[in-house]
A = this chain, B = another copy of it.
Amino acid sequence: MSAQESDRLIQERAIERAGTSFNVQDLIHYLDDGEENTKIYESMSLQLERDPIFKIKSSHLDLKAKRELAFKKIVKLAGYFQNSDEVELRNRIRILSLIDPDVATRIGVHYGLFIGTLRALGSSKQFEFWIKKGAFSLSNFYGCFAMTELAHGSNVAALQTTATYDPQDETFIIHTPSLSATKWWIGGAAHSATHAVVYARLISQGKDYGVKNFIVQLRNSQHELLPGVSVGDIGKKMGRDGIDNGWIQFTNVKIPKFNMLDKYAKVDNDGKVTLPQFQQLGYTALVVGRVSMVVDSYNTGKKFLTIALRYASTRRQFGKDSEGKEKKIIDYTHHRRRLFPLLASVYAMNSAALVISKFQDEANKLVESGENLKHVIPNLKDLFGLSAGLKAFCTWETAHIIDETRQSCGGHGYSDYNAFARGYNDWVVQCTWEGDNNVLSMSCGRALIQNYLSVEKKKIVGKYTKYLETTDISNEFELKSQDLEYIEKIIKAWEFVSKSLIVKSTNKFKNFVKEFNGDVELAFEKISSYRFIIAKVHTKLILLKSFYERILEAPKNLKPVLSLLLQLYSLSITSENISQFYSFNIVKGSDFLENLNYKIDEINELLRPDIIGLTDAFNLSDFVIDSQIGKRNGDIYESYFKHVNDNNSDLKPHYYDSIMKPFFQRDMKPSDNEEVDEEEEE
């Protein structure tokens, strides 16, 4: 019986797969930005897949056991990581993020944040010193990144921990002045870390120079805490429980002067402080994190769409198809409407991730090269603003994708064995850490207004805000139903609406500045709604444009399907933001909205035969996907049933004899606190 059901499901999936209109290998290489990358990703992924320790999953474990398992995996990973260069490290962490996000973060805290900060903000002498100490090989060394405090996260500039310079013995005294200044959430601090990069206020000669970075040793070679260092365990979280997040308090801990990272800011022996010309260079390290979260948004989004779309092409419910069987849920208009635009969105994020990665690499090279910084600054500003917007709206989009795909799988989405539950809980912290998404959106909105003020003053702006210069909004612009075929027209409409909103916001801003006698902060505060909406519209526009531009270079056999996805993306983001288009009279009437909706349904119909191919092109193995209903071969129920039983094999509850039996067979006489019918008493 079961065997026949399986045969049928496997055959159905094979037929779906055979319907693909393009060469899947070509699309894999296109998404990976080259066949070379595909080979690298496949190899890294296979190394993990074949390693027994990575087959062990942590869901059934308690908190302590999760921490232990994560460290066992790190022991295994260290062998790879200690021999990797920067690019390889980055790739390994990205692949690992798809399989064990908590392990990826726990090891990433050291190789990404600790080593990364050392590289970015330390002198080459300092870098070499700590590497020699064992930082790269993890020999009696594990770094953590002590930035956030209990009462300060987003506002890094207001952190309270102090590093007071003492010229007498050329040391800094690191001190936590209050409970609320306790370092909090520090990944690696609770169990693993021997050293920390500490963000603390540099105080010298009685003056506060703002937040700088200091290396502080936490534990000795017996892994005991050093004098003055208190550490605790932050405990259970929503997800990523393999990471040993901790808190740290420093009580007047002395460190050598050498331990302040001084590539930019420097202190001489007497305590005289020299600050760099462009303070913002110290923050370029933060952009690295944002960019990698855009990449992760793409990677994680693709995983969950693969599961949900495979499930939708197998699951049948209600209705009748042409053979009289219940209809596949993928063949419902509404189900397609829920999932296909998200697939298009993942493809758009793929392009945006490549664009912002390259933009960052270029910017870094320019900064390193010592080029005249005045010319680099406009693009750096663009990079700050754009990376803030993309980090916020891409990590949110992926949170939405995981939630919507889970719901689209009904009850099975709620099972731990289908990947969504862990996936969501592990993911959503990305919307908060390294810049809360709302704070980043507001700062992106602020940057856009500043950009437009630059345009007004005929100053140079970066390449991604160039359209604020070139788009003409002095005349009306209308997008009609028949224009929905033309992507260039839709992009123009987006540029028009984005610029219109930014101009309107800038004007409001200027009025408020006047009204509040030059109080710029108050004026920015009053236009908060606008800052948010312009950040969103601008970021979606850049996503759309990067997707459009990248398709121009795609292999010929891929262009038709990619163009459909692009069109779907453009229409679905237009539909989501249509109120702005209405408000500027770019679109009119209820028929437009109706036509837009039908156009989306129409494209979904055209994409339907390629859906399995489009998810196969994400090139994720069953091991990486780790979802019973997301199996490649389509035999979902058999696999799910077996997995559930392999992982839950007790036949009788272990507490039957101790709790259940005495309860079920208890004395049912009423207690002395209950009233009793007289009859019964007789």
Contact yes or no, B525 A333, CB < 8 A: yes
Distance between A574 CB and nearest chain B CB, rounded to angstroms: 11
Is the Cβ of A425 less than 8 Å from the Cβ of B421?
yes
**B585 engages A75 (CB within 8 Å):** no
Query: Which of A565-585 touch B at CB < 8 Å?
Result: 578-580, 582-585
Of the stretches A21-29, A132-140, A296-304, A456-464, the one at the interface is: A132-140
Q: Are B415 and A234 in contact (CB under 8 A)?
A: yes
CA distance A647 to B317 in the complex (A): 46
CB within 8 Å of B: which A636-682 residues: 637-638, 640-641, 644-645, 647-656, 659-661, 663-666, 668, 674
A140-184 Cβ-contact flags toward B at 8 Å (1 or 0) = 111000001011111100100000000000000000011110101
Among B68, B185, B529, point to the contact of A654 (Cβ < 8 A).
Answer: B68
- A: contact size bracket: 35 or more
Query: A668, B237: Cβ atoms under 8 Å?
Result: no
Count identical subunits in the complex.
Answer: 2
- Distance of A352 Cα from B352 Cα, bound (Å): 43
User: Are B333's CB and A645's CB within 8 A?
Assistant: no
Complex contact B59–A236 (CB within 8 A): yes
Give CA–CA (A651, B223) in the complex, Å.
10
How far does the alpha carbon of A64 sit from the alpha carbon of B665 in the complex, in Å?
Answer: 23
Q: Which one of A224, A637, A640, A663 has the highest number of Cβ atoms from chain B below 10 Å of its Cβ?
A: A663
A338 to B155, CA, bound (A): 19
Q: What B residues does A152 contact at CB under 8 A? A: 317
Q: Is A191 an interface residue (CB 8 A)?
A: yes
Question: How far apart sit A411 and B186, CA to CA, in the bound complex (Å)?
Answer: 11
Partner among B315, B525, B659 whose Cβ is within 8 Å of the Cβ of A151: B315
Cα distance, A2 to B525, chains bound together (Å)? 32
Residues of chain B contacted by A190 (CB below 8 angstroms): 648, 653
How distant is the Cα of A138 from the Cα of B653 in the complex, in angstroms?
17
Counting CB contacts under 8 A, is A332 at the interface?
yes
The answer to whether B407 touches A151, judged by C-beta atoms less than 8 angstroms apart, is no
CB pair B185 A411 closer than 8 Å: yes
B442 touches A414 (CB 8 A): no
A173 to B403 Cα, complex, angstroms = 41
In the complex, how many angstroms separate the beta carbon of A24 from the nearest chain B beta carbon? 29
Please encode chain A, from 61 to 99, with 1 for each CB lying within 8 Å of some chain B CB and 0 for all others: 111110110011001001000010000000000000000
B333 lies within 8 A of A529 (CB): yes
- Complex interface bits, A403-434 against B, C-beta within 8 A gives 1, otherwise 0: 10011101101111100110011001101110
Q: Decide yes or no: A590 and B504 within 8 Å by CB, A60-B63, A438-B407, A661-B223 being known contacts.
A: yes
Residue in chain B with minimal CB distance to A78: B663
Q: For window 8-33 of chain A, which residues contact chain B by CB distance below 8 Å?
A: none
Task: Say whether A337 contacts B529, CB under 8 Å.
Answer: yes
Indicate if the CB atoms of B318 and A155 lie closer than 8 Å.
yes
Whether A140 contacts B665 in the complex (CB less than 8 A), given A223-B652, A236-B60, comes out as yes
Q: Can you sample 29 A-B contacts with CB below 8 Å? A: A2-B178, A60-B62, A139-B666, A142-B664, A154-B410, A158-B326, A179-B637, A179-B641, A180-B637, A182-B641, A223-B660, A225-B651, A233-B649, A235-B648, A236-B415, A236-B417, A236-B647, A238-B416, A238-B420, A238-B421, A247-B644, A333-B528, A337-B529, A407-B438, A529-B601, A579-B579, A579-B593, A583-B589, A583-B590
Interface residues of A (CB under 8 A from B): 1-2, 5, 59-65, 67-68, 71-72, 75, 78, 83, 137-142, 148, 150-155, 158, 177-180, 182, 184-185, 190-192, 223-225, 232-239, 244, 247, 315-319, 326, 332-335, 337-338, 403, 406-408, 410-411, 413-417, 420-421, 424-425, 428-429, 431-433, 436-438, 442, 500, 504, 508, 521, 525-526, 528-529, 531-532, 578-580, 582-585, 589-590, 592-594, 597, 601, 637-638, 640-641, 644-645, 647-656, 659-661, 663-666, 668, 674
Which 9 A-B pairs give the minimum distances between C-beta atoms? Answer: A238-B421, A582-B582, A236-B416, A233-B648, A583-B590, A191-B653, A333-B528, A235-B648, A334-B528
